[in-house]
């Protein structure tokens, strides 16, 4: 079970980093989402992978329970990442509507335009 969770975290992280290095807005947003999913799975796995165990303490002193703190952290992280993804989509959509392109390497174009303006006539 642990090898499946560890490999899924690795695949999500590798896919997220790969998509973050693209030159378009939408793959970058998807890459950030994949990285947040990888962090969520990592946080959830840090609480231990106990199957069929309640996240509460028993009044009988039974020591077989799973830690509820990572579950609460993951739930909070899911809500925050959903909100940040919505904000990034709106920023990307605004940039696309303003520039008629969703490329994110605009700094190079700005340097070319500035060099063109500084040439002597």
pLDDT tens-digit series, residues 78-104: 999 999 999 999 998 988 898 888 887
CATH 1.10.287 correct for 2-49+66-117: yes
Of the candidates 20, 21, 24, the one whose C-alpha atom is nearest the C-alpha of residue 102 is 24
Q: Is the pTM of this model over 0.85?
A: no
- Give the pLDDT of residue 9: 95
C-alpha distances in angstroms, 81 versus 16, 27, 33, 34, 84? 14, 16, 7, 10, 5
Helix (H) or strand (E) holding 86: helix 68-99
Measured CA to CA, the distance from residue 103 to residue 111 in angstroms comes to 15
Domain ranges of the chain: 2-49+66-117
């Amino acid at each position: 079970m642990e090898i499946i969770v560890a490999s899924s975290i690795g695949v999500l992280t590798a896919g997220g980093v790969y998509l973050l290095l693209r030159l378009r807005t939408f793959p970058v947003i998807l890459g950030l989402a994949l990285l947040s999913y990888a962090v969520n799975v990592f946080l959830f796995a840090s609480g231990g992978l106990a199957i069929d165990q309640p996240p509460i303490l028993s009044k009988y002193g039974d020591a077989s329970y799973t830690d509820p703190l990572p579950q609460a952290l993951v739930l909070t992280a899911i809500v925050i990442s959903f909100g940040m993804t919505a904000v990034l989509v709106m920023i990307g959509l605004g940039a696309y509507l303003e520039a008629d392109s969703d490329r994110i390497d605009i700094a190079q174009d700005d340097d070319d335009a500035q060099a063109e303006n500084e040439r002597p006539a």
